[in-house]
């Protein structure tokens, strides 16, 4: 494993609109290989990599559509047209990436968009920093409604996933509010549970284009909406998320 190999993985993920869990798994794998993979690397690659696959839950297409349209190799072939991949990296096939994707092609330009007509000009993920996340946070920007990319609203604060889900399903969350779920990080959870239930509940009650959700927990790949996770430092380690109070105004600018 090399730095360039990890850069390739991030690039494909950005083009594909992959899960926020990428920001957990790839640095962990890199660490085992003795490679430091910082959050700024994700933003750097996102800024130069167009999002070219509008996959569910942010878009209409599914993995079977991608597979029948040429698969990941076709995505990589498209990315290679503008030099976005390190084609000389060796792979498990015993060949370099450039050789592996030589014959790849996309059969459906709606599923795998050309680089000159992307879904979005930048990658599927964005790393955010701010006074609530001085060490960073992550959002799947490809699944955020355009009107929620910049948002300001009052905080609704919950110290557990269960408390937030109950409030959402009981109709106690209003349009424009910012749901804060804290003490769900690696130490606070403990274990950094996936906040799939609250994000699904928000979508289920029709608020996924009207409210934001902030957490020091993580998300499932099936999450959509302005869901910002991995807020660091987490509340259980004294992070500023722990001092947010009900009604505090929170500004988000993705």
Instruction: Tell me the per-residue pLDDT of 28-66, one tens digit each, with 9 for 90 and over.
Output: 999 999 999 999 999 999 999 999 999 888 889 999 999
Question: How many Å apart are CA 158 and CA 163, to the nearest integer?
Answer: 6
Question: Contact at 8 Å (CB) between 187 and 236?
Answer: yes
Mean of all residue pLDDT scores within the chain: 95
Place of tokens 């459906």: 108
Q: What is the pLDDT of residue 158?
A: 98
Question: How many Å apart are CA 138 and CA 126, to the nearest integer?
Answer: 6
Q: What is the pLDDT of residue 223?
A: 78
Q: What is the pLDDT of residue 56?
A: 86
* Domains located in the chain, CATH noted: 3-100 (no CATH), 125-253 (3.50.30.80)
Question: Contact at 8 Å (CB) between 154 and 179?
Answer: no
Instruction: Kindly tell me if the per-residue pLDDT of 90 is higher than 80.
Output: yes
Whole-prediction pTM: 0.91
Question: How many Å apart are CA 218 and CA 214, to the nearest integer?
Answer: 10
Q: What is the pLDDT of residue 115?
A: 95
Q: What is the pLDDT of residue 59?
A: 87
Instruction: Kindly tell me if the per-residue pLDDT of 221 is higher than 80.
Output: no
Strand intervals (E) in the chain: 125-130, 133-140, 150-158, 178-181, 212-215, 226-232, 249-253
Place of tokens 């996959």: 55
Which residue out of 56, 160, 197, 220 is catalytically annotated? 220
> Annotated catalytic, 220?
yes
Place of tokens 């996924």: 208
Best CA proximity match to 235, nearest among 198, 195, 191, 188: 188
């Amino acid at each position: 494993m090399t730095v360039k190999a990890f850069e390739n993985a991030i690039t494909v993920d950005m083009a594909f609109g992959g899960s926020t869990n990428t920001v957990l798994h790839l640095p962990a794998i890199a660490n085992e290989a003795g490679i430091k993979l910082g959050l700024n690397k994700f933003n750097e690659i996102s800024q130069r990599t167009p999002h070219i696959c509008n996959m569910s839950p942010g878009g209409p297409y599914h993995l079977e559509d991608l597979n029948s349209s040429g698969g990941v190799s076709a995505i990589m072939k498209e990315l290679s047209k503008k030099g976005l991949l390190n084609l000389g990296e060796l792979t498990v096939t015993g060949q370099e990436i450039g050789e592996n994707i030589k014959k790849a092609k996309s059969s459906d330009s709606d599923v795998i968009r050309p680089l000159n007509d992307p879904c979005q000009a930048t990658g599927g993920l964005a790393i955010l920093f701010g006074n609530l996340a001085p060490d960073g946070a992550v959002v799947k920007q490809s699944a955020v409604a355009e009107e929620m990319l910049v948002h300001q609203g009052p905080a609704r604060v919950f110290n557990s996933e269960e408390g937030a889900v109950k409030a959402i399903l009981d109709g106690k969350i209003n349009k424009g509010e910012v749901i804060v779920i804290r003490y769900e990080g690696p130490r606070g959870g403990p274990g950094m549970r996936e906040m799939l239930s609250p994000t699904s509940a928000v979508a289920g009650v029709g608020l996924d284009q009207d409210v934001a959700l902030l957490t020091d927990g993580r998300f499932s790949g099936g999450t959509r909406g302005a869901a910002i996770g991995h807020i660091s430092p987490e509340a259980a380690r004294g992070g500023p998320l722990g001092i947010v109070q009900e009604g505090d105004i929170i500004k988000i600018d993705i």
